[in-house]
Amino acid sequence: MSSPEKRLSSRSTARSAAKGAGGRKRVAKSTRLKPATKRSPAGKARANKATKVTSSKKATTKRASAKPAAKSRAKATPKRPAKVTKAPTRRVTAKPILHPVRKQPLPPPPQPTFEEAAALTAFESAHKEFTRGRFAEARSQFRSLIEKYPSVSEVAARARTYLAVSEARLRTDLTPPRDADSLYDRGVIELNRGDYVAAQELFERALKREPEAAHIHYGLAATRARLGAIDAALRSLRSALDLQPKLRIRAQRDLDLNSLRTDPEFDQIVFPPAE
């Protein structure tokens, strides 16, 4: 084996010999063999084609593998059919053909017989007395109608109902009231009916119980004015307006006092001079 010192000396001598030969550096070529790595361009093309073919095969295998997966998904999740909204269809119904109907003339109403017509006129006159409040007169007329025309059943039945009402009202009228207010109310009823004599009696009886009642004096004045007792009516009117001056407004428009308006004393009572 050679020592390291000898190796160093041999290298240095070699370098100096090289310098002396031409002053140029000569690099010794390495004796190592280079592997044959260079390939012809045809080989490269073939390699590229091979890589392309392999890549295309991989892609086809991927697609082929993807198709059954997609099919399996499609089988696993069935598609729901989309809802189709149909437009509402209008049903056209044929209108029935209406033929004009000929109206048949109504038969004329049956004419009342002589007896029925007489019963109706008697009922109308009795009903007028009933509406006026003359129950005694209405009662007598209804009684005579029932006795005279019993065969006219409809008119006789109506007459019986009105006869019962008239008798009931007369029974209540026969029992005279006792207090002043009831007598005054009954007097107003008789005054509106036109029975001024009965109204005067009722107002006078009411004044005996309440002599300072202005409304009773006023009712008595209206009743006496209707009867034509001008002086007595003016006295009653004066006492009524003295007790209650607000009654002057009523007296200025009251139709029951029309017979007193021509008297100058009426203007003094109803239209006093302003103070």
pLDDT per residue over 175-216, tens digit each? Answer: 666 788 888 988 888 888 888 998 999 999 999 999 999 999
Inter-residue contact 138 to 169 (CB < 8 Å)? no
Q: The pTM is what?
A: 0.42
Using the CB atoms, write b or e for 1-40: b if 16+ within 10 Å: eeeeeeeeeeeeeeeeeeeeeeeeeeeeeeeeeeeeeeee
- As a whole number, mean pLDDT of residues 75-79 equals 56
Q: What whole-number distance in Å separates Cα of residue 88 and Cα of residue 190?
A: 77
Q: What whole-number distance in Å separates Cα of residue 133 and Cα of residue 192?
A: 9
pLDDT digits (tens, 9 = 90+) for 247-265: 999 999 899 999 999 999 9
- As a whole number, mean pLDDT of residues 153-165 equals 90
Instruction: Return the closest-CA partner of residue 193 out of 163, 235, 226, 145.
Output: 226
Inter-residue contact 259 to 243 (CB < 8 Å)? no
Q: How far is CA 235 from CA 141, 156, 241, in A?
A: 40, 50, 10
Higher pLDDT, 228 or 50: 228
Reported as a pLDDT band with limits 50, 70 and 90, residue 49 is very low
Q: What whole-number distance in Å separates Cα of residue 273 and Cα of residue 252?
A: 15
Inter-residue contact 146 to 122 (CB < 8 Å)? no
Reported as a pLDDT band with limits 50, 70 and 90, residue 72 is low
Rank 16-30, 103-117, 165-179, 211-225 by mean pLDDT and report only the highest: 211-225
